[in-house]
Amino acid sequence: MTIRKTVGISSITLIIATVLTAFYVLEELLLPINHVSASGYGLSAIDYRLVSILVNLPLIIIWFVAFWGYSQLKAYSKSLGNSREAPAYRSLAIGIAWLTYGLIIKTMVERLLAALSNTNPALVGPTTIISSYLNLILPLIGFIIIFAASKTLMRLQSSLTKTIKPLQLMGLCLVAGAIYNFTYIRAAGLHSISSHNNIYNLPGWLLLISLILPYLYAWLIGLTASYQLGLISLHSSGILYKKALSYLTIGLITIVIGFMFNQYLSAIWPLKNHLVLNYQLIIILLFRIISGIGFIIAAIGANKLRMIEEL
């Protein structure tokens, strides 16, 4: 009976998710829109607002899925009581919480920034910069916490303390970094601070140090944390525990990959102060859905782990 009660999202988490979603919908209904974009699509102001909400409906669903995933992992960490692994799994839940809250906070702030740039075009540059750094900082904090939690779990597995470093992941990040730098510099017009295409109005070296390299670091530690959890699941005893932990690992890998591509796309297609209905929207929604699937898989894994503890 206890198991059934904790399968769904907790009441407090559901209330928080609902309130934040309501605030976002109010933003879409009340904040200034881009009238040039609305007339370009042949939409009235109210039609434009409704289309914006409908376009972001998959994202709203993903928010609730992410809150559910966080709720399940938090429930599992509580079920561990005072065991050695409990603090690490609590940290893992906190890291997922940062990713979860980051999704909705980023979208809400971006809508506010878009409204500001709609009323004052001179603010397009500053709002783009704020959006880019916000897209970096919140997931980065989450990935750092998740990485620290996975390291703790690795230390608790004495047989894994001498495991070979994940050199393949470092190589993958180097390749991804080279591609990212090339496309980012071209898209942002960073070859010249005075370039018409330089949407940031900042020198390339500053963005390299403060934005590009932190992005790559976030991706590396996110993938490394997934790798470490994968090793733990492979070396765990008990078929049920190993299977449940593998779900959690696959979910985390999917979340990290989804965030990687979303951050990449946000960099090459920065914040726009108007509705965009083209192939870019489809690609962005696709990778947001991938992140949502990751939260679902991680939640299933956390729920299975909790059920094992409660047997």
> What pLDDT shows up at residue 136?
85
> What pLDDT shows up at residue 281?
78
The answer to whether the CB of 52 falls within 8 A of the CB of 293 is no
Tell me the C-alpha distance between 211 and 305, whole Å.
Answer: 37
Sketch the domain layout of the chain as residue ranges.
Answer: 2-310
Tell me the C-alpha distance between 302 and 296, whole Å.
Answer: 10
DSSP class of residue 193 equals T
Q: Judge whether residue 37 has pLDDT over 70.
A: yes
What percent of the chain is modeled with pLDDT above 70? Answer: 79
pLDDT tens for residues 47-87? 889 988 888 888 888 889 889 888 888 888 888 888 888 89
CA triplet 97, 256, 278: central angle to 5 degrees?
A: 105
> What pLDDT shows up at residue 262?
81
DSSP class of residue 32 equals -
The DSSP result for 159-207, as a single string, is: GGTTPPP-HHHHHHHHHHHHHHHHHHHHHHTTT-TT-TT-TT-S-HHHH
**Terminal CA-to-CA distance of the chain, rounded, Å?**
11
**Tally of helices (H runs) and strands (E runs) in the chain:** 12, 0
* Sole residue written with tokens 């829109």: 33
DSSP class of residue 269 equals S
In sequence order, what are the residues at sequence separation of 6 or more whose Cβ sits closer than 8 angstroms to the Cβ of residue 15? none
Q: Judge whether residue 188 has pLDDT over 60.
A: no
In sequence order, what are the residues at sequence separation of 6 or more whose Cβ sits closer than 8 angstroms to the Cβ of residue 224? 147, 150, 166, 169
Tell me the C-alpha distance between 261 and 283, whole Å.
Answer: 10
Tell me the C-alpha distance between 230 and 159, whole Å.
Answer: 14
What count of residues does the chain have? 311
Q: Judge whether residue 40 has pLDDT over 50.
A: yes
The answer to whether the CB of 227 falls within 8 A of the CB of 147 is no
**pTM reported for the whole predicted model:** 0.83
Q: Judge whether residue 237 has pLDDT over 60.
A: yes
> What pLDDT shows up at residue 297?
92
Over residues 164-191, mean pLDDT: 59
* Sole residue written with tokens 């956390």: 302
Q: What is the CA radius of gyration of the chain?
A: 21
In sequence order, what are the residues at sequence separation of 6 or more whose Cβ sits closer than 8 angstroms to the Cβ of residue 6? 75, 306
10 versus 194: the higher-pLDDT residue is 10
